[in-house]
Structure 1
């Protein structure tokens, strides 16, 4: 067995940080550390691009302080001659450096604050390893990893090269090939000299857009909500609470007001999470029901039950007792269990299914959002789809654990992932204040929803032209705020393309990401033992379920890799 003396980690965001910490924990049992080389194209080691600390305050995280209790701290890691110090949990760190979180309501922080925590946590490890000459940082993009003389050669676009005996790739969001629509817009922008912005989280984006402009935004997800705040707010504007209801008012300077025109394929907004712990408890399956759900899924996997139908049935069998605990809170109060089961099953199979207990997606957008806000505050009867989405959120950690490397056929996994993706409009929904802000901006004419559902987009010398059968608007700027899914065949980054061209990677299915073994080792068309390249994270979607959540960066998948990597390192250096 070849000695593993140098280990490379490519991509050092939260998952790279977690991988480093977990590896050190397992290596401490043998007192040996290989030389570790960390690569990232951004200078935010530990945080990565998504959580970079120089981004605007208007970019909000969509996971509450209560959920972030699961982001545990690091215990001290003791080696023979030195110790990696412990580090507090996120909640402990925040309450030391910022302020105490409110007890009963959910609080959502700016993304940059999470970045501060992650970078500080990383630096506390880096400092000790640098003192021991065991770590090197390279602020470089990696374009390829090639096999050479039994080792790995890590290459950059500038032809810099570094050696390693083994490599872990934990890169996050990657550029993708432009869609036909984006290609068309590129041509239109060049023909008519129009402004087209393709990166919604570019930190200089607001500097390139003047006040009093009409801005069209493609997409209606969390990135778009961040853009609403970025372009809807200025030094002369603010949101104020209404005295008589749970909504907000937008106070602004009429002279410097942008107009924003969002649109998406279905025109549907994200659905807010519950306002506080009391409301959220209506959807909490608690320990007993969660354990029953997990046991049923485990047994179903062992018995080769028909998935995803078995998942839907098991989920509904958990939903019904949750609804029956407080039946008068829900629009299904007078329904039999069988009727709830039938409606839930129909809607989970087809999101276009209509029923009086399901919020009507044909409602005008602001009316739809107002109803979801009232439900999030429990000031109206709660629709069945809202209840399903929130219970799904509570059960997602269990599903992410159970359906990763579960042995199901790849096409079945794709169906399960599709259900999870469709429900993310609810389960990954924003804080309720985000939706209140959107409503307030719409009420004041800052946001215009006339063309929200799949308009025709064209252009002229006067600007971008959006129209449907009822309306037509012109925009000065077009922003793409759609963040593409990690479909392997659509990724357009050098490292992925080169690994594909060298037959190092293969996809789970044509619509999913990289296929890996449970310890993160990449599955190739050659024998398993020939690969020294491992991969964790969102680009492995399909091998694992649940790739985008911050908490998953510190979860079991990383632990599995670290434990096995430490074992390989130790065996190779006996």
Structure 2
């Protein structure tokens, strides 16, 4: 049994926002236990606490898709007054719903980590090691980590919070990489945005295609326009002459995501009563005990009544049968009901977000799902769900992200101005035929075709464990210590993040939180989740394991009622 008075040595691999949240949660538990913590955090980023997604080095082109008023990530008061609360420095007092830059949030997170490190040394010794971990080994005295050819340990517990690890490119992207290596065109990733901006200095007058039409594309468009000196004015977009002549974003369905409501007043139109929220979550919990088809039917049956009520109140009445039919189709054909051309979709969703047009079924369902996000996590994440049921529920939630995880209204308005200025074209937006040709790519849609000399990849790889090439994950796969929930999903984990091995047994004291556990958890791509209940369940697990003998926590540990 670990002697709590002697302290506890823990390793955290990955020190972005989720790693920071884990450190904070562990500090709180250690104080309660009178335990000294020695935490070794492994990460090669220049700004620990922020991670690459929120690097303070980013340009101002990259915006959060959550307004400042909704960033509920305040530190626990028990950490003390020194640990700051986020106050967006770039807030415009005249902007009712301000969306901060990612760099601003990253600066805050890096500062927050600095203040956490300055806490009473009797509670925490945090050592940040700028190294990459490539393997984990279980020995008699604990867990050891291989990094740069050396083994470091022993650790009582190891937590993996790597975010998005290295991933094998899909077939299309792999072919393009070979095409560019042979001297044809230029291929760039959307991030880091400063690298993209530097490359774009030589793209004036060229045609640039963008694979993807989601949130990342909005960042790319700002990099290629305002980042190169262009300006959005009251009368439209004003070219600088340094930007590409034409930008061609495309995706499988060609539909731009719906923006967030313009203000809190419009957003409140989609609020749920306590009774409605409880009823939907009851339906979700009931569905989680069923097979995939039954799970979706049960959950949607709970979701439909509030949607009908809201549609009536916003002046777009629909029958229960209308909403049921829309939800049923969404289960089998996500996004297939979006039949308007991309430009009309953009105009329509802007009007709904502004409150000028009544919300339709899809927009309303998306806003309701956004407001349910935290409650869904609390109900789903601590429980054990059948793999195919988990896959169905996760897929349904991800499919609605075009509404629920949409960009700021400002981004949608800017996209519309770029189309009107002829900078962006939607002609080839919907799943065009793409041919690799000398000097680049030829995009065809029916009789229309355009040649692009540059391709920007703005598609985030899915958290598909089978495609991960990160050496650490490959080592865990060889040991059988990490297995996917289902095809296309992330790792099987217990409620406290404990990895579940190939034969269903827990991996002693080795845990994983975040995106690569999608399927065991849901709605992970949120800054709120980084500081949410998952990190506290992990910290509780650490304390309980080592207070009762240092082994894996009982399987039922995390199956407590939702917080």
User: Under a length normalisation based on structure 1, what TM-score does the superposition of the two structures give?
Assistant: 0.89
* 2:30 matched residue in structure 1: 27
Given the alignment of the two structures, is residue 65 of structure 1 paired with residue 68 of structure 2, yes or no? Answer: yes
Q: 2:428 aligns with which of 451, 460, 476?
A: 451
Residues 171-200 of structure 1: CA distance to partner in whole angstroms, max 9, x if unpaired?
101121111111211222122342112353
Residues 119-151 of structure 1: CA distance to partner in whole angstroms, max 9, x if unpaired?
111100113366978221111121111223342
Q: Give the Cα–Cα distance (whole angstroms) in 1 for the partners of residues 228 and 212 of structure 2.
A: 26
Residues 316-353 of structure 1: CA distance to partner in whole angstroms, max 9, x if unpaired?
122222223x152x2xx2x4334443344334543466
Given the alignment of the two structures, is residue 87 of structure 1 paired with residue 70 of structure 2, yes or no? Answer: no
Which structure 2 residues correspond to residues 487-526 of structure 1 after superposition, within 5 A? 487-525=464-502
Given the alignment of the two structures, is residue 292 of structure 1 paired with residue 282 of structure 2, yes or no? Answer: no
Residues 430-453 of structure 1: CA distance to partner in whole angstroms, max 9, x if unpaired?
011101101111111211222111
* 1:337 matched residue in structure 2: 320
- Deviation, 1:421, is 0.8
Q: Give the Cα–Cα distance (whole angstroms) in 2 for the partners of residues 24 and 312 of structure 1.
A: 40
Comparing 515-524 and 398-407, the one that deviates more: 398-407
In structure 2, the residue corresponding to 1:452 is in which secondary structure?
coil
Comparing 26-35 and 286-295, the one that deviates more: 286-295
Given the alignment of the two structures, is residue 228 of structure 1 paired with residue 221 of structure 2, yes or no? Answer: yes
In structure 1, the residue corresponding to 2:60 is in which secondary structure?
coil
Which structure 2 residues correspond to residues 36-435 of structure 1 after superposition, within 5 A? 36-68=39-71, 70-77=72-79, 85-90=81-86, 93-94=87-88, 97=89, 99=91, 105-128=96-119, 134-156=125-147, 158-163=148-153, 164-209=155-200, 210=202, 211-234=204-227, 236-241=229-234, 249-254=236-241, 256-298=243-285, 306-324=294-312, 326-328=313-315, 330=316, 333=317, 335-351=318-334, 361-435=338-412
Q: Give the Cα–Cα distance (whole angstroms) in 2 for the partners of residues 116 and 32 of structure 1.
A: 30
Q: Give the Cα–Cα distance (whole angstroms) in 1 for the partners of residues 189 and 228 of structure 2.
A: 26
Comparing 128-137 and 34-43, the one that deviates more: 128-137
Distance 1:283 1:348, change over 3 A: farther
Distance 1:336 1:135, change over 3 A: closer
- Deviation, 1:51, is 0.6
Aligned-residue CA RMSD in angstroms? 2.4
Q: Give the Cα–Cα distance (whole angstroms) in 2 for the partners of residues 241 and 131 of structure 1.
A: 57
Which runs of 5 or more residues in structure 1 are unaligned?
78-83, 243-248, 355-360
* 2:557 matched residue in structure 1: none
Distance 1:235 1:264, change over 3 A: closer
Q: Is the 8 A contact 2:228 2:243 kept in 1?
A: no
Distance 1:131 1:286, change over 3 A: same
Given the alignment of the two structures, is residue 11 of structure 1 paired with residue 14 of structure 2, yes or no? Answer: yes
Which structure 2 residues correspond to residues 531-570 of structure 1 after superposition, within 5 A? 531-570=508-547
Residues 192-235 of structure 1: CA distance to partner in whole angstroms, max 9, x if unpaired?
34211235335312112213332111111111110000001246
In structure 2, the residue corresponding to 1:531 is in which secondary structure?
strand
Which runs of 5 or more residues in structure 2 are unaligned?
551-563
Q: 1:441 aligns with which of 403, 418, 425?
A: 418
Residues 212-264 of structure 1: CA distance to partner in whole angstroms, max 9, x if unpaired?
3321111111111100000012464211235xxxxxx1122346554211111
Q: Is the 8 A contact 2:35 2:123 kept in 1?
A: no
Q: Give the Cα–Cα distance (whole angstroms) in 1 for the partners of residues 421 and 510 of structure 2.
A: 54
Q: Is the 8 A contact 1:232 1:446 kept in 2?
A: no
User: Under a length normalisation based on structure 2, what TM-score does the superposition of the two structures give?
Assistant: 0.90
Instruction: Tell me the number of residue pairs that the alignment of Structure 1 and Structure 2 aligns.
Output: 543
Distance 1:294 1:351, change over 3 A: closer
Distance 1:261 1:318, change over 3 A: same
Residues 90-119 of structure 1: CA distance to partner in whole angstroms, max 9, x if unpaired?
2xx33xx5557558x321111011101111
Residues 19-73 of structure 1: CA distance to partner in whole angstroms, max 9, x if unpaired?
10010101102221232101112121111111111011101110112221x2122
Comparing 44-53 and 144-153, the one that deviates more: 144-153
Distance 1:253 1:29, change over 3 A: closer
Residues 348-407 of structure 1: CA distance to partner in whole angstroms, max 9, x if unpaired?
5434665xxxxxx34332222011111111112322111111111111221122122433
Q: Give the Cα–Cα distance (whole angstroms) in 2 for the partners of residues 286 and 41 of structure 1.
A: 45
In structure 1, the residue corresponding to 2:340 is in which secondary structure?
coil
Q: Give the Cα–Cα distance (whole angstroms) in 2 for the partners of residues 303 and 191 of structure 1.
A: 51
Q: 2:446 aligns with which of 455, 461, 469?
A: 469
Q: Is the 8 A contact 2:441 2:452 kept in 1?
A: yes
